[in-house]
Amino acid sequence: MYDVAVIGAGPAGLICARNAARRDLSVALVDRHDRPGVKLSMAGGGRGNFTNRTLSEEHYVTDDPSLVRAVLRAFPCEWTLDLLRSLRLPFEERDFGQIFGLRPAAFLADRLAVQCDDAGVDFYLGCTASSFSLPSGAPAFGRDREEAGFTFFAGQEKVTARRLVLAAGSSAWPASGASDAMARLAAAWGHEVVPFSAVLVPFVMPGDWPLAGLEGISVNVRVAIRRDGTTFRPDPAGIRSLLFTHRGVSGPAALVASCRWRAGDELILDFLPELPVLELLDEKEHGRLLARNLLSRFMPARLADALCPEDLARKKCAEMGKKDRLRLAAAVHEFSCRPSGTEGLKKAEAAAGGVKLSSLSRRLESRKVPGLYFCGEIVNVAGLLGGYNIHWALASGALVASAMTGTPADERKNRRQLLSSGSSFPLHCR
Ligand SMILES: Cc1cc2nc3c(=O)[nH]c(=O)nc-3n(C[C@H](O)[C@H](O)[C@H](O)COP(=O)(O)OP(=O)(O)OC[C@H]3O[C@@H](n4cnc5c(N)ncnc54)[C@H](O)[C@@H]3O)c2cc1C
C-alpha cells in the first residue's frame, strides 16, 4: 500500500511525486512511456519555454480564473525560476517575458526524475495504468478509507495507494502517446469534464481563402476575433508574428488566437498594426506611389498584391479619394476571414477542457472522491503561448503535493529546503 500513486510522469506528476516523497510519503509514479517527460521534451522546439514573467489568470482559459489566480500567487514565475536554478538548468528571457531553458527541455524531466529517485519514488515506467477501482465500501473520510485504498494495474502489476493523483495530461498531440482515457475515468467517477479541444494549433482556411499561395511568409499582425457581432482581442500581448502555411495560418499570433477561437468565429487581421495606412497615404513623399507599391514598402510584395483591392492597385496614392483610402485601410487593418477549422488535436500543443475546477477543491482534491487529486493539463486550465502550460503543470503538481502533506504556505516556506538537488541515474524501475 503506497501513500500516493501518481499517474503520469510529465512535469505535473514528476514534481508532485518528488515533493510528496521528500515529505516522507511512499510514492509510486506510473507512466506508459519508458522514460519520463516525453511531451515535455518536445516543448519550445526542444528547449522548453518553462514559464513567463507576465503570469496572470488572463493568460489561461479555464472555468475558474480566481482559483488559477490563487495558484499563480502561491507559485509565481520566480518559484519556477528557483526550481530551474536548483536543478542547474540555465535559462534566458526572450520576447513577451518568455523564459526558455538553455539546455534540451528533456533535461528538466531527467533532473526531476533523478530527484524523485533520490527521494525514494518507485517508478513504474513503460506501464499503462488501467482497471482502476475506488476504495471500496469506505466512508468518505476517516481511517477506514485510508485502509481501503485505490487499486489499479500498472502493466501487469497490481498497485494499491491511499491517495491517487491523476497527472495524465490531455489528448493533444497524440503522437506523444497522449489520450483522454484518464479524463474519461474522471467523468465516470462523477466529475464534470469538458471534452478536450485543440488549442495552440494552426488554423485551416477554406478553399477560396484569398491569401492562399503565400506559404512561408511571416509578418507581424494584431489579431481580433469577431463573434456574433462583438469583437475582442484574444492576446493580451498584442502584436505577434503570423506564418502563412499551405493550409492556412500558424505562428504565435495564430496559435494564441486558437485558444479563444470557436467554430464559426471570424478572425480580423491587422497587417500593419503600428503604421496606420491613412497616415501613410497622407505623406507627401508617397503621393506618386501606386497603392500596391506603397504597401510593399512595409510588407512582403506578394502579401501587398493579395491585400490591395484590384481596382486600387494601379492607382497613385495622391489620386485616391476618401472612399478608396478607407477601403485600402480596411483591407490592411481589418482583413476578415473565417477559418474552416483548425489542424485539430493531432497538431495541437495543448488542449482546452478536462476536469472542471468546479469539481475540485481549492487544493485540487476531488469533491466527489476523497483522496483523489488532479494536476497539470488534465485539469480544465489551458495556457496561452509563452510557457504558461508548463508553469501550470509544475505549480499545480506542487500544490497537490503540499495539499497531501501541508499547506501552500508551508510549500513556500520550505521551498529552499525542498529544491536542493543532487543524484544519479538509473532510476529504481519496477
Ligand atoms: C510540441 C509541443 C510543444 C510544447 N511546447 C510548450 C512550451 O514551450 N511551453 C509550455 O508551457 N508548454 C508547451 N507545451 C505543452 C506542455 O508540454 C504540456 O502542457 C505539459 O507537458 C503538460 O504537463 P502534464 O504533466 O500535465 O502532462 P504531460 O506532459 O502530457 O504528461 C502526462 C503523462 O501521463 C502519461 N499517461 C497518461 N495516461 C496514462 C496511463 N493511463 N498510464 C500511464 N501513463 C499515462 C503520459 O504518457 C504522459 O507522459 C508543448 C506541447 C507540445 C505537444
d(CA 30, CA 126): 8
Ligand 1 pocket, 252 CB below 6 A?
A: no
> In this model, does residue 387 exceed pLDDT 80?
yes
Task: Please tell me the predicted confidence (pLDDT) of residue 237.
Answer: 86
Structure confidence by residue, pLDDT tens digits, 17-57: 999 999 999 999 999 999 999 999 999 888 999 999 999 99
Closest CA to 351 of 240, 201, 188, 203: 201
State which ligand 1 atom lies nearest to the alpha carbon of 45.
Answer: 3
The three cell numbers locating residue 226: 469577431
Task: Please tell me the predicted confidence (pLDDT) of residue 414.
Answer: 43
Q: How far is the CA of 154 from the centre of ligand 1 (A)?
A: 19
Instruction: Read off the pLDDT band of 407 (50, 70, 90).
Output: low
Ligand 1 pocket, 48 CB below 6 A?
A: yes
Ligand 1 pocket, 169 CB below 6 A?
A: yes
Task: Please tell me the predicted confidence (pLDDT) of residue 78.
Answer: 97
Ligand 1 pocket, 290 CB below 6 A?
A: no
3-state SS of 42-65 is HHHHHCCEEEECCCCHHHEEECCH
State which ligand 1 atom lies nearest to the alpha carbon of 33.
Answer: 47
Take atom 35 of ligand 1 and give the residue whose Cα is closest: 8
Mean pLDDT of 89-118: 97
Q: How far is the CA of 169 from the centre of ligand 1 (A)?
A: 5
Take atom 5 of ligand 1 and give the residue whose Cα is closest: 43
Ligand 1 pocket, 11 CB below 6 A?
A: yes
**Displacement of CA 388 from its chain's centroid (Å):** 6
Mean pLDDT of 294-309: 96
d(CA 44, CA 386): 9
Closest CA to 100 of 163, 24, 47: 47
Ligand 1 pocket, 168 CB below 6 A?
A: yes
Task: Please tell me the predicted confidence (pLDDT) of residue 139.
Answer: 46
Q: Among the residues of 87-121, which ranges form H helices?
A: 106-118
Task: Please tell me the predicted confidence (pLDDT) of residue 76.
Answer: 97
Task: Please tell me the predicted confidence (pLDDT) of residue 424.
Answer: 29
d(CA 15, CA 233): 34
Task: Please tell me the predicted confidence (pLDDT) of residue 177.
Answer: 87
Q: Cα angle vertex 429, ends 375, 406, to 5°? A: 35
Instruction: Read off the pLDDT band of 417 (50, 70, 90).
Output: very low
Q: How far is the CA of 144 from the centre of ligand 1 (A)?
A: 35
Name the residue of 6, 380, 389 whose CB sits within 8 Å of the most ligand 1 atoms, as the mutation to test its pocket.
389
Domain ranges of the chain: 2-199+348-418, 203-342
Ligand 1 pocket, 49 CB below 6 A?
A: yes
Structure confidence by residue, pLDDT tens digits, 127-176: 999 999 999 754 444 445 556 899 999 999 999 999 999 999 999 999 98
Find the helix or strand (DSSP H, E) in which 124 lies: strand 122-125
Task: Please tell me the predicted confidence (pLDDT) of residue 12.
Answer: 98
Q: Which CATH number fits domain 2-199+348-418: 3.50.50.60, 3.30.1330.120, 3.20.20.140, 2.60.40.1180?
A: 3.50.50.60
Q: How far is the CA of 416 from the centre of ligand 1 (A)?
A: 26
Ligand 1 pocket, 31 CB below 6 A?
A: yes
Q: How far is the CA of 10 from the centre of ligand 1 (A)?
A: 5
Instruction: Read off the pLDDT band of 314 (50, 70, 90).
Output: confident
Structure confidence by residue, pLDDT tens digits, 244-260: 999 999 999 999 999 99
pTM score, whole prediction? 0.92
